[in-house]
Amino acid sequence: MKMFGIGWGETRCRFNFGRKMIAHTSRIVVLFAALTLVGQTYGQWTEQVLETFNSESNSGVSPYGPLTQAKDGALYGLTSFFGANGSGTLFKINCDGSGFTILHSFGSYSDGENPQGGLLQGADGALYGTTFYGGNNSVGTVFKINPDGSGYITLHNFGVDSTDGSYPGNVVLVQDRVGALYGTTSHGGVNGYGTIFKINPDGGNYTVLHSFAADDGYGISPDAGVILGSGGILYGATPQAGTNGGGTVYQINPDGSGYTIIHTFGANEDGKVPYCALVQGNDGALYGTTTGGGVYLDGTVFRLSPLDKSYRTLYSFNPYVGDLEGPQAGLVQAASGVLYGTCYSGGDSGCGGVFTINTNGSGYFILYGFPGEDFPGANSAGIAPHAAVIVGQDGALYGTTLSGGTLPGGIYDNGTVFRLAPPTPPQLSLPAVFPDGSLRFSLTAPANQNCRVDVSTNLVSWTALTNILSATNAVQILDAFSHGSGQRFYRASYTGQ
């Protein structure tokens, strides 16, 4: 018999019973179906360190920004310091950890320096990004490079005059359907508190769309970039100011008109200080994180509708129970609809981790907590993820840590590139019918995982059959109420509880 897994978190099977019992035997036809993932993946995920950055080589150190998986399947990213010219690197690595290559070392002559964001692969296949320092005016650049490392060019030097932006932070550029690129700077502009800008892929038509101001309640000094939402509207967040002093979420049209605040943080038990880039979910709502605020003052996950401005705190991180805390980056939504995010600190070791949550606020679970120096596995693991994870083409999560990691010969604490693989899904197999009509089958899963088995007669309404802790060997499940059912469907999932 053959079984099909459901994503990585849930397995379903169907047992069709013959209605007629013959003596002490029963006829049973077993069919297994590959169905759509409904639940989400629980259970501790497994980290694989793909690369450890080393200040004693030219690899660069301290990757502040997220990875990008390009059309060729490889991962691309940026480090902020060291490298051949001392000011960071642009690197490429395969998803299995092979092929680590430095494509560009920043800091040569009037080149940009110290990139803090991530990369965008444009419609033309080239990679686009920003640097925090460097360039002709020493306040950052926009650059372009081909995925093979050729064709590096500076598209814009920030700070050309007193109205231009400067110091773009943890920015990933976005591109509209006609090819224009959009981003933010954390300083500069008419008021000195940052800008939103637009530029063509060839460096032409650079325009400051908006200059943030300190006294208008509109928020200042964005750390992350904008996203291009449905309808072509740009959305972003500022970590400071606003009418409540805890930052804002804003929207603006691509031509610079219509700048509007759609949420101000800091009231009551609301979150504060959103350093994140937003993500627009498949329901049209905006999702993000705050570094502070919430019930326990250590950050939140929030949902905001851009249509009616309705706002909801989905989750408040609670450090008093060993929870993660202090998210520095935004979220990513998987095809199944669940959200993934990172926290810079907290967890059992205090070194941060990766979590998942549903868009309605349910299902919060720590997928992986990075181990500290005194925890098992700390000899190679990274710590303190500053950037969001991405969902790879293989469904695994890929990301960077700002610190941690080792190489043969010692601890370097310069950051890592990691892959998180989900646990093997629980498997249902070997059905057998007893003379009284009850059914027994086996559940196989990694040892010591909390699993739940549900049963249904119509694939619509499900009830819990049992909760059980998996063991090294297969666990036997008994359904004593299966007698008389024309058909019964079973599914198994990790509960994370």
Instruction: Let me know how long the chain is.
Output: 497
Q: Cβ distance 69 to 419 under 8 Å?
A: no
Q: Angle CA(59)–CA(65)–CA(71) in degrees, nearest 5? A: 85
Supply the pLDDT for residue 348: 87
Question: What letters, b where the CB count within 10 A reaches 16 and e where it falls short, cover 38-65?
Answer: ebbbbbbbebebbbbbbbeeebbbbbbb
Amino acid at 184: T
Domains of the chain: 5-42+425-494 (2.60.120), 67-224 (2.120.10.30)
pTM (two decimals): 0.83
Range with lowest mean pLDDT among 67-81, 176-190, 199-213, 448-462 = 448-462
Q: Identify which of 496, 331, 474, 326 has the alpha carbon closest to the alpha carbon of residue 422.
A: 496
Distance CA 136, CA 10 (A): 54
pLDDT digits (tens, 9 = 90+) for 249-271: 999 999 999 999 999 998 888 99
Residue 426: half-sphere exposure toward Cβ, Cα within 13 Å: 37
Residue 409, exposed/middle/buried by CB under 10 A (0-12, 13-18, 19+)?
A: exposed
Residue 235 has pLDDT above 70, yes or no: yes
With H, G, I as helix, E, B as strand and everything else as coil, classify residue 224. strand
What region, left, alpha or beta, does residue 286 occupy, with left being phi > 0 and alpha being psi -120 to 50 degrees? beta
pLDDT digits (tens, 9 = 90+) for 304-340: 999 999 999 999 999 999 999 999 999 999 998 999 9
Supply the pLDDT for residue 216: 60
